[in-house]
């Protein structure tokens, strides 16, 4: 079975690890994440962001989000997860799932690193992966 990204041009994986892909506006120099698509994309140059940042804010999702959420919808099977904003210094603040052994270990300012994690399986059995941040080691 294969491994598929949840969206095109969201992240890249290389020998130095995963990187999120943003766009730098050619006129203003400002970064946008995710990389803009369609006609708007012509204004942007693709930029690989640093894989490290600091936790800027977070919360714990304790019930299934409303559709179009693609994860588990059955409240009995749903597993709570953390989501937050990670500041990539000098670049941008991004929203992400947070991978952690304990929600109690999360705190604003905590060093974080980018990881690629399983999200779901397709009906054909392919693994769909997404990005997340975990406490840096």
Please write the tens of the pLDDT for every residue from 52-62.
Answer: 999 999 999 99
Structure confidence at residue 1 as a pLDDT band (50, 70, 90):
low
Closest-CA residue to 98 (of 61, 66, 44)? 61
- In sequence order, the β-bridge partners of residue 94 are 86
d(CA 123, CA 57): 35
Mean pLDDT of 89-100: 96
d(CA 116, CA 12): 10
Domain count, the chain: 1
Structure confidence at residue 137 as a pLDDT band (50, 70, 90):
confident
CA dist list (Å): 80 to 1, 32, 62, 72, 132 = 27, 29, 4, 10, 15
Please check the confidence at residue 84 and state whether its pLDDT lies above 80.
Answer: yes
DSSP H stretches of helix in the chain: none
Domain hosting residue 43, numbered range: 3-135
Which pLDDT score is estimated for 67?
A: 78
Write down the pTM of the prediction: 0.90
């Amino acid at each position: 079975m294969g491994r598929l990204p949840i969206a095109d041009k969201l992240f890249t994986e290389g020998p130095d690890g995963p990187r999120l892909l943003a766009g730098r506006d050619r006129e203003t120099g400002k970064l946008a994440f995710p990389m803009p698509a369609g006609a708007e994309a012509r204004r942007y140059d693709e930029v690989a962001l640093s894989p490290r940042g600091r936790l800027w804010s977070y919360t714990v999702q304790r019930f299934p989000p409303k559709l179009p959420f693609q994860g588990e919808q059955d409240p009995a099977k749903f597993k709570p997860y953390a989501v937050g904003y990670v500041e990539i210094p000098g670049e941008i603040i991004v929203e992400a799932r947070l991978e952690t052994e304990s929600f109690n270990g999360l705190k604003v300012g905590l060093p974080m690193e980018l990881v690629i994690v399983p999200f779901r399986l397709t009906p054909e059995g392919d693994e769909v992966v997404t990005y997340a941040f975990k406490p840096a080691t």
